[in-house]
Structure 1
């Protein structure tokens, strides 16, 4: 009936060497269906990006990324994130503490 979309194991990020979580706000240079489509298609290819959401407000997209450490993110940012189609600006937020992560739906 469409209630269950999948089942998966929860892996401890630190145990697999992905101890750093980074949130990145992305602003595109144009707000068109074509620019959104190009960006979304390209971001789907980045395994480090766990979540990508089109948002209202200061950014067009908010990305949740898992990497080993700050140096690993710096490499990803410099080589791949800013090269994504249509990216005009990014704002990076390193997560200092994960207070509530992947909470279950309340029913």
Structure 2
């Protein structure tokens, strides 16, 4: 509830009509199965998130600071990198959202 309140207030401040949705999932498999397009953010991915030029709704999955398991990477339809730097999970989420919004022209 706390994160949804933060998102709602931030969206109001930014005058956005759409509020980003934040939810905790029981497993990566559950998230990937529940959304239309999941992009797993991984430092070792070959495609940069900024190079995904197709503007569409995506769910960005930010993993643990230790990285994704091989199984989790296999489940993902797409993976993308934010670049070569190691980022804390909370920083990666903000960077990923900023890049995704920029790609969408928002």
**TM-score normalised by length of structure 2:** 0.26
Higher helix proportion, which one? 2
More strand by share: 1
Task: Answer 1 or 2: higher relative contact order, Cα 8 Å, separation at least 6.
Answer: 1
TM-score by length of 1: 0.26
Bigger Rg, which one: 1
